[in-house]
Chain A
Amino acid sequence: MFSFCADPKAIEGLSWLVCYLTSAKHLSFYASFGTVLLLLVVTAPAALAFGFGGATAARSPFLPARIFGKTYIAMVRGVPDIVFFLFFVIALDQGIEYLKSLAVCPDGAWPWQGLEFRVCKEAKVPLATSSPFWHEAYGFMLAVVTFAIVFGAFVANVLFGAMQAVPRAQLETAEAYGMNHAQVFRRILVPQMWVYALPGLSNLWMILIKATPLLFLLSVEDIVYYARELGGSKTQAYEYPHGDWRLWYFLALLCFYLLMTRLSEGVLGRLSARLSKGQATAAGEAMRKAAA
C-alpha cells in the first residue's frame, strides 16, 4: 500500500507494523467487518418481517395458519439454535438445487441416492463455471436466510407476547366503533405493540450481534476466518513472518464485540426512552413525574 513497503524483509519496527497491518490480506480482513455489519443490516429487517408474519399467523382466527405460526415459534425453543444453523444451510441448498433440477435436468431423477446428493450439473447453484464472487454471494445469501428464519422465530415470540400485552380495552373500543378485524389490527394493535416489544427486541438485537461469529460455521469468510488465517504463525516463506498471533487477533475481535454491545446499549436506551414518552406505562409515568 505504501511505497516503503516494497521489501518487507528490509524494514523493521513501527514501519514494519504499518506495512504489515496494511497488507492486502489485512485489507480483506477489515472489509470482512463490513460483511458482519452487512449481515446485521440485512438480517434484522428480514427477521422482523418473518417474525411479524409468524406472530400474525399465530393469532389468526384461521386454524391452519394458527398452527403454523405456533409451530414456528415453538420450533426454536428447546433446541439449540446452532442445530438449526447447520440444518438449514444444507437443507436450503439441497432444496434449491432439487427445485432447479426439476426444471432444468433432462431425467429429473430423485437426487438423494445412497450416500450422495446428486443433481445434474446444470442444476448446480451456482454453476461450477460461475465466478468465485457468485459462490461467495450464494453462501452469504444462504447464511442470511438461515439467520432470518431462526431469528424470525425469536422475533415472532416477542411480537406475539407484545400483541397480547396491548390492553384488551383498546381493541374492544375499536370494535365498538365498528372497525373490522383487519382495521383493529392495523390501526390499533400494531401501533401500540412496539413499546411492549422493545425490551424483547433489544435483547434479540444483542443476541443477533453475538451470533454473527456463527457465520464462520456456515463457511462464509468472516472476521473469525480472517483472524485465524492471519494470526496463524507464518514462516520465512511469507512476506511478513511472525509467530502464533491468533490470540491478539481474537482479543481484537473481543474488543469489537464489546464495543458493539456498548454502542447498542446506548442507542436502545434512548429509543426506549423515546417510545415510553407519553405512554401509560411505569417508565412513561416516571418521565412525566421527572418533567413536572
Chain B
Amino acid sequence: MTMTCLETVQAYGLRAIGIGENLLPKSDFTLCQHFTLIGSGMIWNLYFGTVALAFGFFLANALALAKAARNPWLRKPAEWFVFVFRGSPLFIQFFIAYETLVLLPRSGIEIFGLTVATSWLTKAWAGALLVLFLNTSAYAAEIFYGALQSIPKGDLEAADAYGISGWQKFRRIQWPTMLRLGWPAYTNEAIFMFHATTLVFFASFPAFRQMGDALYYANYFADKTFNPFIPYPIVGFYFVLLTLLVTGLFGWVNRRLNRHLPQNSRVRNRLRMNLIR
C-alpha cells in the first residue's frame, strides 16, 4: 500500500499532537513522510518556544528590575536565580526538574481539603515548558539588566529636569529605552530559545505515545534508515525558516522601538552568538 504525498500529509500532518494515523511508518520511508512528520514535530518546538518566551518576557523584566534594585532582599535572590540558570547546562536543568517533579506524590497534594493533581507536571508540555520558561527568563533578565545599566545618563537627567519621577519616569523613559537597547540581544535569545526546544525530548521528558518534536522524528528516521543525510538536514531546513521568521518579527518590533530616532542613531538588529545553554 503506497500513499500519495497528500494522503501522507493528511495522515501524519498533525501526528505530533496525536491527531491522525497512530502507527508511524516502519519501512519504505519516502521523502514526503520525512518532511511531513518532522514538520509535524515542529508544532512542539513552536509551542515550547512561543509560550516560554511570552511568559518569560514578564518574569525577565521583573528579574532585571530586581537585580538592579538597591534593596539586597530583592537583588540577591534575583542575582542567584540568574546565576544558577545561566551558569548550568539546560540539559542538567531538565534532568533535575524531571526528577523533582516525579518525586511529587502520584495521588496529588492535599491543600485545604482539595486534592491538587500533580501528574500533569511530569508531562513534557508542562514540565519542560516550566524549565524553558525559567531558563529564558534568566537569560533575558541578564540582557535587560545590562540594557538598564546602559541607559544614557542624559536621558535620566532630562527626565528629572522635566519633573518626571517615580513610576512615570520608569514607564515613559527607562522601560522603553531598556527594551530598545536590549532588543537585538533579546532577538538572539529568542532564536536560541527555539533551538533549545530541541533538547526537551532528548533530556529526560519522555515523548508520550511517540508524540515528539522535530528532532525526535528526525532521530526516529535516522535510527530506522541508518541514513543521517536526509532527516537531519530537513530539521535544519525547518529551523532556518523559523529563524528567518523570528528575525523578521523581532526586526519589526525593533523598528517600532526605534522609530522616534534619527536614522543614524538607531540600534541595529544583528544576529549575535549565544548558542548552547
Contacts and interface: CB of A to CB of B under 8 A. Distances in A.
B239 A83 contact: yes
A250 B99 contact: yes
Contacts of B224: 115
Interface residues of B, number: 46
Contacts of B228: 86-87, 90-91, 94
B198 A83 contact: yes
Contacts of A80: 194-196, 198, 215, 235, 239
Interface in A45-71: none
A90 B239 contact: no
A92 to B, nearest CB: 10
A109 interface: no
Interface string B223-267: 011111100110110011001100000000000000000000000
B92 A204 contact: no
Contacts, number: 125
Interface stretch (B126-134, B157-165, B268-276): B268-276
Interface string A140-151: 000000000000
Nearest to B197: A80
A78 B222 contact: no
B89 interface: yes
A289 to B, nearest CB: 19
A262 B225 CA distance: 43
A203 B276 CA distance: 11
Nearest to A248: B99
B179 to A, nearest CB: 23
B226 A112 contact: yes
Given A79-B235, A83-B198, A87-B232, A224 B275 contact: no
Contacts of B27: 115
A216 B84 CA distance: 21
A162 interface: no
Interface string A248-262: 001101100110011
A228 to B, nearest CB: 8
B226 A224 contact: no
Interface residues of A, number: 45
B47 interface: no
A12 interface: no
A82 interface: yes
A82 B215 contact: yes
A82 B88 contact: no
Contacts of B276: 81-82, 207, 210-211, 214
Given A258-B83, A261-B88, A86 B215 contact: yes
Contact of A212 (B89, B239, B240): B89
Contacts of A224: 91-92, 95
Contacts of A42: none
Contacts of B195: 79-82
B38 to A, nearest CB: 11
The B interface, classified by DSSP as helix, strand, loop or mixed, is helix
B84 A213 contact: no
Given A79-B240, A204-B273, A258 B91 contact: no
A55 to B, nearest CB: 13
A139 interface: no
Given A246-B99, A247-B96, A78 B243 contact: yes
B236 A82 contact: no
Contacts of A227: 95
Nearest to A91: B228
Contacts of A78: 191, 236, 239-240, 243-244
A163 interface: no
Contacts of B196: 80
Given A112-B227, A257-B89, A250 B95 contact: yes
A43 to B, nearest CB: 13
A210 B84 CA distance: 12
A175 to B, nearest CB: 29
A158 B273 contact: yes
B1 interface: no
A227 B235 CA distance: 30
A210 to B, nearest CB: 4
B127 to A, nearest CB: 14
17 contacts: A77-B243, A78-B243, A80-B215, A81-B195, A81-B276, A82-B215, A87-B233, A90-B226, A112-B226, A214-B276, A224-B91, A246-B95, A247-B96, A250-B99, A251-B96, A254-B96, A261-B88
Given A86-B222, A246-B95, A250-B92, 13 more contacts: A76-B275, A77-B243, A78-B240, A81-B195, A83-B239, A86-B228, A90-B222, A112-B227, A154-B275, A157-B273, A207-B275, A210-B90, A257-B89
